Structure 1
């Protein structure tokens, strides 16, 4: 994501040493990813822009007090999430409609999305590992049938096999998968 050859750590250290050009580079290299992340937390783009601005102002003002930041990207994401939550809580006390906004853009939605992506990734890895346990012909037949949604007649033609041989191949493949899973 960096727009220069400098690493984020080098830019951060340079900024903390007083280099304002490094601060500008950090801002430029992280602004878009923070904005995209923030859109998953709120639909209020103006609030989002203000919160991003505020976290960079805080970073600038408190640069001497921060110490070592191991992962700036994570630090900025967490800061943005906390700032948005704080602002939405303030709005809740100022107006009844803020409760609806908090419910509509709960930060847990992002966590749920992440967990769902991890579960999908894990399932895909499991399926790939299971498919690797099959013979190449079984894997080909099952892939043609379940993934490419081919009919048995098409599979017979593609694999140059008769109908009953394809059925037997599919049956043995599924039986082996059930045994591996069970």
Structure 2
């Protein structure tokens, strides 16, 4: 496995941990921690709270490993579990309403490489996109984040958000329609969005 683990790699680790392989649990955590922390930070600005919830998810997986089925989408399963854990524990901690989550900081979201290596136009488009994303509904922003920032499938997003796949498609289509209406002529909106998935 490389730096990024494929779905089949994660499924293999999951199968191994079901057979009491603690090393596979450790690798699963290492490969998915950044993804989970990034998603968790969309709901809370309390880093310790996010870390505790991630740890709780993996503790629960280890405790119930014998009865868990290897999921079709380990990433989807982990993000769903984290979201639920954060909601359940949120009343006791600094829960941030989802409405305030997707005010992306362009300086944080845009790689310095774009600016340093002469890609100012891309950086400008990304800033514009971030400002337009702030105008979408909270559900639209969450679907956009999961689809284009985390590169998850429609079914994975449906599982995470606890809605149907058709609802995900509808929300995504409405979000893209809204962005197209707001996006200035001459800018490549879809190219900008798809560049996030790389």
TM-score after normalising by structure 1: 0.54
On the 8 A contact 1:27/1:56 being kept in 2, the answer is yes
Aligned to 1:114: 142
Aligned to 1:165: none
On the 8 A contact 2:11/2:70 being kept in 1, the answer is no
Aligned to 1:46: 48
On the 8 A contact 1:34/1:52 being kept in 2, the answer is yes
- Give secondary structure in 2 for the equivalent of 1:114: helix
Residue 97 (structure 2) pairs with residue 105 (structure 1): yes
CA distance in 2, matches of 1:107, 1:54: 25
Aligned to 2:186: 147
On the 8 A contact 1:38/1:80 being kept in 2, the answer is yes
CA distance in 2, matches of 1:13, 1:43: 33
On the 8 A contact 1:2/1:8 being kept in 2, the answer is no
Moved over 4 A (4+): 107-110
Aligned to 1:82: 84
Counting only pairs closer than 5 Å after superposition, residues 5-84 of structure 1 correspond to structure 2 as 7-84=9-86
CA distance in 1, matches of 2:41, 2:71: 25
**Greater share of helix:** 1
Counting only pairs closer than 5 Å after superposition, residues 116-135 of structure 1 correspond to structure 2 as 118-119=172-173, 122-123=176-177
On the 8 A contact 1:43/1:105 being kept in 2, the answer is no
1:123 CA displacement? 3.6
On the 8 A contact 1:42/1:48 being kept in 2, the answer is yes
CA distance in 1, matches of 2:185, 2:84: 44
1:146 CA displacement? 4.0
CA distance in 2, matches of 1:16, 1:80: 20
On the 8 A contact 1:41/1:107 being kept in 2, the answer is no
- Structure 1 or 2, whichever has the larger Rg, is 1
Residue correspondences, number: 121
Long gaps (5+) in structure 2: 102-137, 146-171, 188-198
Long gaps (5+) in structure 1: 92-97, 128-144, 149-182
- Give secondary structure in 2 for the equivalent of 1:85: helix
